Protein backbone atom coordinates (compact mmCIF):
# COMPACT_ATOMS: atom_id res chain seq x y z
CA UNK A 1 0.00 0.00 0.00
CA UNK A 2 1.24 3.47 -0.85
CA UNK A 3 1.12 5.66 2.27
CA UNK A 4 1.51 8.77 0.06
CA UNK A 5 4.27 10.07 2.30
CA UNK A 6 6.73 11.03 -0.42
CA UNK A 7 7.73 14.69 -0.06
CA UNK A 8 5.79 15.14 3.20
CA UNK A 9 7.33 17.05 6.13
CA UNK A 10 7.32 15.52 9.61
CA UNK A 11 8.29 16.74 13.09
CA UNK A 12 9.01 14.05 15.68
CA UNK A 13 9.85 14.74 19.30
CA UNK A 14 12.25 12.23 20.82
CA UNK A 15 13.34 11.01 17.40
CA UNK A 16 16.87 10.16 18.46
CA UNK A 17 16.15 6.77 20.07
CA UNK A 18 13.53 4.07 20.54
CA UNK A 19 10.03 4.27 19.08
CA UNK A 20 10.57 7.87 17.91
CA UNK A 21 13.74 6.97 16.03
CA UNK A 22 12.20 3.88 14.40
CA UNK A 23 9.23 6.05 13.34
CA UNK A 24 11.57 8.68 11.90
CA UNK A 25 13.48 5.97 10.05
CA UNK A 26 10.31 4.55 8.52
CA UNK A 27 9.02 7.99 7.50
CA UNK A 28 12.41 8.88 5.98
CA UNK A 29 12.38 5.62 3.99
CA UNK A 30 8.89 6.53 2.76
CA UNK A 31 10.25 9.83 1.40
CA UNK A 32 9.48 12.29 4.21
CA UNK A 33 11.73 15.12 5.30
CA UNK A 34 12.21 14.97 9.06
CA UNK A 35 12.90 17.37 11.92
CA UNK A 36 13.42 15.74 15.30
CA UNK A 37 14.73 16.53 18.77
CA UNK A 38 16.30 14.89 21.80
CA UNK A 39 18.63 16.04 24.55
CA UNK A 40 21.73 13.94 23.95
CA UNK A 41 23.76 15.42 21.08
CA UNK A 42 25.63 12.16 20.29
CA UNK A 43 22.31 10.32 19.88
CA UNK A 44 20.99 13.14 17.69
CA UNK A 45 24.08 13.05 15.46
CA UNK A 46 23.91 9.27 15.18
CA UNK A 47 20.18 9.33 14.33
CA UNK A 48 20.62 12.13 11.81
CA UNK A 49 23.35 10.18 10.02
CA UNK A 50 21.20 7.03 9.78
CA UNK A 51 18.11 8.97 8.66
CA UNK A 52 20.08 10.67 5.88
CA UNK A 53 21.28 7.27 4.66
CA UNK A 54 17.82 5.77 4.14
CA UNK A 55 15.88 8.53 2.36
CA UNK A 56 16.10 11.36 -0.13
CA UNK A 57 14.36 13.93 2.09
CA UNK A 58 16.08 16.49 4.32
CA UNK A 59 16.87 15.68 7.94
CA UNK A 60 17.23 18.22 10.76
CA UNK A 61 18.13 17.02 14.26
CA UNK A 62 18.11 19.65 17.01
CA UNK A 63 18.98 19.48 20.69
CA UNK A 64 15.99 20.63 22.73
CA UNK A 65 14.81 19.80 26.23
CA UNK A 66 11.02 19.61 26.11
CA UNK A 67 10.83 20.39 29.82
CA UNK A 68 11.88 23.88 28.80
CA UNK A 69 9.26 26.17 27.27
CA UNK A 70 11.53 28.30 25.09
CA UNK A 71 13.62 25.34 23.86
CA UNK A 72 10.40 23.57 22.86
CA UNK A 73 9.02 26.58 21.01
CA UNK A 74 12.42 27.20 19.35
CA UNK A 75 12.49 23.59 18.17
CA UNK A 76 9.01 23.89 16.68
CA UNK A 77 9.86 27.13 14.84
CA UNK A 78 13.23 25.76 13.70
CA UNK A 79 11.48 22.64 12.35
CA UNK A 80 8.78 24.56 10.48
CA UNK A 81 11.35 26.90 8.92
CA UNK A 82 13.85 24.16 8.04
CA UNK A 83 11.20 21.92 6.51
CA UNK A 84 9.39 24.77 4.74
CA UNK A 85 6.08 23.82 6.38
CA UNK A 86 4.65 20.85 8.26
CA UNK A 87 2.34 17.98 7.35
CA UNK A 88 2.84 15.50 10.21
CA UNK A 89 3.37 16.49 13.84
CA UNK A 90 4.26 13.53 16.06
CA UNK A 91 4.72 14.12 19.80
CA UNK A 92 6.49 11.00 21.00
CA UNK A 93 8.78 12.00 23.89
CA UNK A 94 7.66 11.46 27.48
CA UNK A 95 8.77 12.54 30.93
CA UNK A 96 8.50 8.85 31.96
CA UNK A 97 7.66 9.63 35.59
CA UNK A 98 7.92 6.38 37.53
CA UNK A 99 8.47 8.03 40.93
CA UNK A 100 5.25 9.96 41.40
CA UNK A 101 6.99 12.72 43.30
CA UNK A 102 6.64 16.48 42.76
CA UNK A 103 9.41 16.65 40.16
CA UNK A 104 7.98 13.66 38.29
CA UNK A 105 4.55 15.29 38.07
CA UNK A 106 6.10 18.55 36.87
CA UNK A 107 8.18 16.71 34.25
CA UNK A 108 5.11 14.88 32.92
CA UNK A 109 3.19 18.13 32.77
CA UNK A 110 5.97 19.84 30.83
CA UNK A 111 7.08 17.02 28.52
CA UNK A 112 3.96 14.90 27.93
CA UNK A 113 1.37 17.66 27.99
CA UNK A 114 2.79 21.18 27.60
CA UNK A 115 5.36 20.28 24.95
CA UNK A 116 2.47 18.92 22.86
CA UNK A 117 0.45 22.09 23.47
CA UNK A 118 3.43 24.31 22.58
CA UNK A 119 4.25 22.37 19.43
CA UNK A 120 0.66 22.64 18.23
CA UNK A 121 0.59 26.33 19.12
CA UNK A 122 3.75 27.05 17.12
CA UNK A 123 2.86 24.93 14.08
CA UNK A 124 -0.90 25.35 13.75
CA UNK A 125 -0.78 27.90 10.94
CA UNK A 126 1.61 25.73 8.88
CA UNK A 127 -0.54 22.67 9.52
CA UNK A 128 -3.57 24.58 8.24
CA UNK A 129 -1.82 25.09 4.91
CA UNK A 130 -0.96 21.39 4.53
CA UNK A 131 -3.09 19.19 2.29
CA UNK A 132 -2.76 16.23 4.70
CA UNK A 133 -2.19 17.60 8.20
CA UNK A 134 -2.08 15.19 11.10
CA UNK A 135 -1.17 15.48 14.77
CA UNK A 136 -0.27 12.20 16.43
CA UNK A 137 0.50 11.74 20.11
CA UNK A 138 2.26 8.65 21.41
CA UNK A 139 0.32 7.70 24.51
CA UNK A 140 0.40 4.60 26.69
CA UNK A 141 -1.96 1.88 27.82
CA UNK A 142 -1.29 3.36 31.28
CA UNK A 143 -3.79 6.04 30.20
CA UNK A 144 -6.58 3.49 30.63
CA UNK A 145 -5.25 0.60 32.72
CA UNK A 146 -3.68 0.31 36.18
CA UNK A 147 -0.62 -1.93 35.86
CA UNK A 148 -0.25 -2.37 39.62
CA UNK A 149 2.47 0.20 40.23
CA UNK A 150 2.09 2.88 42.91
CA UNK A 151 0.49 6.05 41.50
CA UNK A 152 2.59 8.33 39.30
CA UNK A 153 1.85 11.11 36.82
CA UNK A 154 2.70 8.96 33.77
CA UNK A 155 -0.76 7.47 33.11
CA UNK A 156 -2.69 10.62 34.08
CA UNK A 157 -0.54 12.73 31.72
CA UNK A 158 -1.10 10.26 28.88
CA UNK A 159 -4.84 10.32 29.62
CA UNK A 160 -4.89 14.13 29.47
CA UNK A 161 -3.34 14.11 26.02
CA UNK A 162 -6.18 11.89 24.77
CA UNK A 163 -8.70 14.56 25.72
CA UNK A 164 -6.53 17.25 24.16
CA UNK A 165 -6.26 15.28 20.89
CA UNK A 166 -10.05 15.02 20.74
CA UNK A 167 -10.38 18.78 21.29
CA UNK A 168 -7.86 19.46 18.51
CA UNK A 169 -9.59 17.08 16.11
CA UNK A 170 -13.02 18.54 16.80
CA UNK A 171 -11.82 22.14 16.51
CA UNK A 172 -9.45 21.97 13.56
CA UNK A 173 -11.09 19.31 11.43
CA UNK A 174 -12.59 22.17 9.43
CA UNK A 175 -9.00 23.18 8.60
CA UNK A 176 -8.17 19.67 7.43
CA UNK A 177 -6.20 18.76 10.55
CA UNK A 178 -6.62 15.34 12.17
CA UNK A 179 -5.50 14.40 15.70
CA UNK A 180 -5.09 10.94 17.21
CA UNK A 181 -3.36 9.08 20.04
CA UNK A 182 -1.59 5.74 19.67
CA UNK A 183 -0.93 3.90 22.91
CA UNK A 184 1.72 1.19 22.96
CA UNK A 185 1.73 -1.55 25.56
CA UNK A 186 5.09 -2.97 26.63
CA UNK A 187 7.64 -2.56 23.82
CA UNK A 188 11.10 -4.12 23.77
CA UNK A 189 14.04 -2.66 21.89
CA UNK A 190 17.74 -2.75 22.64
CA UNK A 191 18.65 -0.11 25.21
CA UNK A 192 15.00 0.65 26.01
CA UNK A 193 13.24 0.53 29.37
CA UNK A 194 12.00 -3.05 28.83
CA UNK A 195 15.47 -4.17 27.78
CA UNK A 196 16.65 -2.90 31.16
CA UNK A 197 13.87 -4.91 32.90
CA UNK A 198 14.87 -7.97 30.89
CA UNK A 199 18.45 -7.71 32.16
CA UNK A 200 17.73 -6.64 35.73
CA UNK A 201 14.41 -8.33 36.47
CA UNK A 202 14.09 -11.33 34.12
CA UNK A 203 11.29 -13.06 36.10
CA UNK A 204 9.10 -9.97 35.91
CA UNK A 205 9.93 -9.56 32.22
CA UNK A 206 8.94 -13.18 31.52
CA UNK A 207 5.69 -12.72 33.43
CA UNK A 208 4.87 -9.72 31.22
CA UNK A 209 5.67 -11.78 28.12
CA UNK A 210 3.30 -14.51 29.31
CA UNK A 211 0.56 -11.94 29.97
CA UNK A 212 0.52 -10.87 26.33
CA UNK A 213 -1.59 -13.15 24.09
CA UNK A 214 1.09 -13.15 21.38
CA UNK A 215 3.64 -14.34 23.94
CA UNK A 216 6.15 -11.51 23.58
CA UNK A 217 6.53 -7.77 23.87
CA UNK A 218 5.96 -5.50 20.89
CA UNK A 219 8.83 -4.05 18.89
CA UNK A 220 9.59 -0.41 18.14
CA UNK A 221 9.14 -1.10 14.42
CA UNK A 222 5.65 -2.53 15.02
CA UNK A 223 4.65 0.66 16.82
CA UNK A 224 6.37 2.83 14.20
CA UNK A 225 4.32 1.23 11.42
CA UNK A 226 1.06 2.02 13.25
CA UNK A 227 2.15 5.61 13.89
CA UNK A 228 3.25 6.07 10.27
CA UNK A 229 0.00 4.68 8.89
CA UNK A 230 -2.28 6.73 11.16
CA UNK A 231 -0.28 9.92 10.55
CA UNK A 232 -0.04 9.37 6.79
CA UNK A 233 -2.57 10.40 4.12
CA UNK A 234 -3.48 6.68 3.92
CA UNK A 235 -4.94 7.00 7.43
CA UNK A 236 -7.12 9.97 6.47
CA UNK A 237 -10.38 8.63 7.92
CA UNK A 238 -8.84 7.90 11.31
CA UNK A 239 -9.56 11.00 13.34
CA UNK A 240 -10.17 11.91 16.98
CA UNK A 241 -9.32 8.36 17.95
CA UNK A 242 -7.36 6.49 20.59
CA UNK A 243 -5.67 3.38 19.24
CA UNK A 244 -4.39 0.60 21.51
CA UNK A 245 -1.18 -0.84 20.10
CA UNK A 246 -0.47 -3.46 22.73
CA UNK A 247 -0.84 -6.87 21.10
CA UNK A 248 -3.81 -7.56 23.37
CA UNK A 249 -1.82 -7.02 26.58
CA UNK A 250 -4.68 -5.14 28.20
CA UNK A 251 -7.59 -7.57 28.18
CA UNK A 252 -10.47 -5.20 27.56
CA UNK A 253 -12.94 -4.76 24.73
CA UNK A 254 -12.33 -1.04 24.22
N1 LIG B 1 8.80 1.54 25.42
C2 LIG B 1 7.60 1.15 25.85
O3 LIG B 1 7.39 0.00 26.27
C4 LIG B 1 6.44 2.12 25.80
C5 LIG B 1 5.19 1.67 26.25
C6 LIG B 1 4.11 2.53 26.23
C7 LIG B 1 4.26 3.82 25.76
N8 LIG B 1 5.49 4.24 25.35
C9 LIG B 1 5.60 5.62 24.88
O10 LIG B 1 6.33 5.67 23.68
C11 LIG B 1 7.07 6.89 23.61
C12 LIG B 1 8.51 6.58 23.29
O13 LIG B 1 9.00 5.69 24.27
P14 LIG B 1 10.44 4.98 24.13
O15 LIG B 1 10.37 3.76 24.96
O16 LIG B 1 10.83 4.91 22.71
O17 LIG B 1 11.38 6.04 24.90
P18 LIG B 1 12.96 6.19 24.94
O19 LIG B 1 13.65 5.01 24.40
O20 LIG B 1 13.30 6.63 26.32
O21 LIG B 1 13.21 7.40 23.92
C22 LIG B 1 12.65 8.63 24.23
C23 LIG B 1 13.08 9.67 23.20
O24 LIG B 1 12.62 10.94 23.68
C25 LIG B 1 13.73 11.79 23.95
N26 LIG B 1 13.43 12.58 25.14
C27 LIG B 1 13.11 12.13 26.37
N28 LIG B 1 12.91 13.17 27.20
C29 LIG B 1 13.09 14.30 26.47
C30 LIG B 1 13.03 15.68 26.76
N31 LIG B 1 12.78 16.15 27.98
N32 LIG B 1 13.28 16.57 25.76
C33 LIG B 1 13.57 16.13 24.51
N34 LIG B 1 13.63 14.82 24.18
C35 LIG B 1 13.41 13.92 25.15
C36 LIG B 1 14.93 10.84 24.14
O37 LIG B 1 16.18 11.45 23.87
P38 LIG B 1 17.06 12.07 25.08
O39 LIG B 1 17.00 11.13 26.23
O40 LIG B 1 18.42 12.25 24.49
O41 LIG B 1 16.42 13.37 25.39
C42 LIG B 1 14.59 9.80 23.08
O43 LIG B 1 14.92 10.28 21.79
C44 LIG B 1 6.84 7.60 24.94
O45 LIG B 1 5.82 8.56 24.81
C46 LIG B 1 6.38 6.49 25.86
O47 LIG B 1 5.56 6.96 26.91
C48 LIG B 1 6.58 3.43 25.36
For the cut 90, the answer to whether the pLDDT of residue 145 exceeds it is: yes
Instruction: List, in order, residues 6 or more apart from 82 with CB less than 8 Å away.
Output: 35, 58, 60
Identify the pLDDT of residue 245. Answer: 98
Q: Is the CB of 91 under 6 A from ligand 1?
A: no
Find the helix or strand (DSSP H, E) in which 222 lies.
Answer: helix 220-231
E strand segments, 51-123 = 59-63, 88-91
Ligand 1 pocket, residue 134 CB under 6 Å: no
Do β-strands 177-184 and 133-138 pair in parallel, antiparallel, or remain unpaired?
parallel
| Contact 38 CB / ligand 1 (< 6 Å) | yes
Question: Which of these, 116, 224, 111, 106, lies nearest to 165 by C-alpha position?
Answer: 116
Which residue among 13, 17, 149 is best mutated to probe the pocket of ligand 1, counting the most ligand atoms within 8 A of its Cβ?
17
**183 and 143 in contact (C-beta within 8 Å)?**
yes
Q: Does residue 143 carry a pLDDT above 90?
A: yes
Summarize the confidence of residues 135-163 as an average pLDDT: 97
Give counts: helices (H), strands (E), the chain.
9, 9
Expressed in angstroms and rounded, the spacing between residue 58 Cα and the centre of ligand 1 is 23
Q: Where are the alpha helices (DSSP H) in 130-211?
A: 154-172, 193-200, 202-211
Atom 42 of ligand 1, nearest CA residue: 14
Probe residue for ligand 1, chosen from 38, 107, 139, 155 as the CB with the greatest number of ligand atoms within 8 Å: 38
Q: Please give the average per-residue pLDDT across 15-41, as a whole number.
A: 98
Instruction: Please say if the pLDDT value at position 9 is more than 90.
Output: yes
Nearest protein CA to atom 18 of ligand 1, as residue: 18
Average pLDDT score over residue span 167-195: 98
Mean confidence (pLDDT) of the chain: 98
Percent residues over pLDDT 70 in the chain: 100
Q: Which atom of ligand 1 is nearest to the CA of 138?
A: 45
Nearest CA to ligand 1 atom 46: 94
Separation between Cα atoms, residue 183 and residue 178, nearest integer Å: 17
Rounded distance from Cα 174 to ligand 1 centre (Å): 31
The pTM of this model reads: 0.99
Residue 177 CA to ligand 1 centre (angstroms)? 25
pLDDT grade, residue 132 (50/70/90)?
Answer: very high
> What domains does the chain contain, in order, with CATH numbers?
9-187+220-245 (3.40.50.720)
Residue 254 is predicted with a pLDDT of 82
Q: How far apart are CA 52 and CA 25, in angstroms?
A: 9
Q: 92 C-alpha to center of ligand 1: Å?
A: 7
Distance 94 CA to ligand 1 centre (A): 5
For residue 217, the model assigns a pLDDT of 98
pLDDT at 32 over 90: yes
If you average pLDDT over residues 59-73, what whole number do you get?
98
CA of 44 to the centre of ligand 1 (A): 13
Residues 215-248 as b/e (b if ≥16 CB within 10 A, e otherwise) read eebbebeebbbbbbbbbbbbbeebbbbbbbbbbe
Apex 240 CA angle, 238 and 246, nearest 5: 70
Question: Cα(19)–Cα(12) distance, rounded to whole angstroms?
Answer: 10
**pLDDT over 90, % of the chain:** 99
Pocket flag, ligand 1, residue 194 (CB < 6 Å):
yes
Q: Using 50, 70 and 90 to split pLDDT, how confident is the model at 230? A: very high
Amino acid sequence: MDLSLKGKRAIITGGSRGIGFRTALLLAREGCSIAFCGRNQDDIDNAEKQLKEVGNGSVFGKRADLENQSETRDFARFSAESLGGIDLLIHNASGFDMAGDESGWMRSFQVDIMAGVRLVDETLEQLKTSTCASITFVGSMASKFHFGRPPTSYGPAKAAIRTYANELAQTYGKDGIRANVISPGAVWFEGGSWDKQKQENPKFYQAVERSIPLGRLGTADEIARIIAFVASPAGLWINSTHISADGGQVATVD
